[in-house]
Amino acid sequence: MAVAVVSVLLGSSTGASAQDFIYRSRDTLVAGTQPFFFLGANAYPLMVSAARGDTQSVRDLFGMANALGITVIRTWAFYDSSDSLDPAVLQFRPGNYNEPALRGLDYVLLQARLHGIRLLLPLVNSWDDFGGMNQYVRWRREAAAADNANAPGPAERSEVPPYVRGPGGRQYRVSLGGPYEHDIFYTDSLIQVWFTNFAAMLVRRTNTLTGIRYVDDPTIAGWELANEPRSSDPTGTMVYKWVRAVAQFLRGIDPHHLLATGEEGFDVCPDPYTATGYNNQGWLFDGTADVRLPSAPSARALLASVPEASRRGTRLAAIPGTVPDAAHVPAGCAFHPRCPLAVERCRQEVPALLDYAAGPASPPGTATAGGDSAHLAACHLVGRS
């Protein structure tokens, strides 16, 4: 079972107990009273392995994760299929859940708890692997046929590729015939009832091995609404509306766990990723549209020194000078001997720490229009070109 390390970051030393829920405090994740940082990995089919009786590989993987210092694992909490002979299928039909598969997920949560590892649990796949959104669309088509009625959805289009393809051989069918397209997963009211019922079932489930309800289990770092959601809408509006609705529903029944949207987000890595190569999903690439570059010269210098693949073969930018001795901090701004923009005021006056997100110069803690206070800087030159 392969483990792919996918994320590292957030904060400094945790010192947090696995009994603490993780929550967001402005731009930092926190567990208990300490910032929470993690080394994360994907290990998709842990529930599948456990449900099919291969519990040894599950224990081995968590042991390997411990050895590597991994503290969060992302693994499927879904498997949607009409194959009633597969013990790992979690949902055979809408509302028809498979207890052996659920007990497999119980086992994964138990092992994660014993190994001090948190789990991020996606609830559906945008791709066709493990059923995916198209399985819900198939069930919708079958329900409409049984009712001898037309299911709502967009009209059939004649100029669409038969599949949307992604990295690693992932794909999903654009249309299953007539109005039954992948995208009605986001818009069809009956499908939304099925999906939110499934999510509610998991949130309210009591683990048969630990006796802890999922909603009360801090071993779950959070719920991921979908794995890599996409649609035919290049603006992302369709996915956004669905995310907003499902997130509001989940927050109403689970106030404890983090919620993740699951989108791919290639905005900081334009090459080789392009919107054209990702079925014109431009919204996956514009995530920095509302993210301002830092105004402080020290922060800009740090960003400029980050190596980039596009600058291969060129000398890395460097901040001149050395970090000042803590016993002999320069007068004024401690960064001024290394700052090419320093003026006389920088050499004389220690700059105050201000929140520039709330306006030209506001005390830390002043709320911004968006409700956050998160653009702190101690610099006389912030805001100057």
| Domain ranges across the chain | 4-284, 293-385
Report whether 108 contacts 58 (CB < 8 A). yes
Distance CA(384)–CA(377), nearest Å, equals 13
Residue 9 three-state SS: strand
pLDDT tens-digit readout, 274-312 = 656 666 666 666 554 433 445 566 666 665 555 544 445
Above pLDDT 90, what percent of the chain?
A: 48
Supply the pLDDT for residue 26: 82
Question: Residue 313's pLDDT is what?
Answer: 62
In this predicted structure, what is the pLDDT of residue 268? 52
Using CA atoms, how far apart are residues 87 and 104, in angstroms rounded to an integer?
9
Strand 38-42: give its sheet, edge to edge: 4-9, 38-42, 72-74, 118-122, 220-224, 258-260
Distance of CA 96 to the CA centre of its chain: 28
Residue 358 to residue 232: CA distance in whole angstroms: 37
Q: How confident is the model at residue 149 (pLDDT cuts 50, 70, 90)?
A: low
- Whether the upstream peptide bond of residue 272 has omega within 30° of 0, thus cis, is yes
**CATH architecture assigned to 4-284:** Alpha-Beta Barrel (3.20)
Report the mean per-residue pLDDT for the chain: 79
Is pLDDT larger for residue 289 or for residue 223? 223
DSSP helix, strand, coil percent of the chain (3-state; round to 5) = 30, 15, 55
Q: How confident is the model at residue 330 (pLDDT cuts 50, 70, 90)?
A: confident
| Residue 125 C-alpha from the chain's centroid | 13
pLDDT in tens, 56-80: 999 999 999 999 999 999 999 999 9
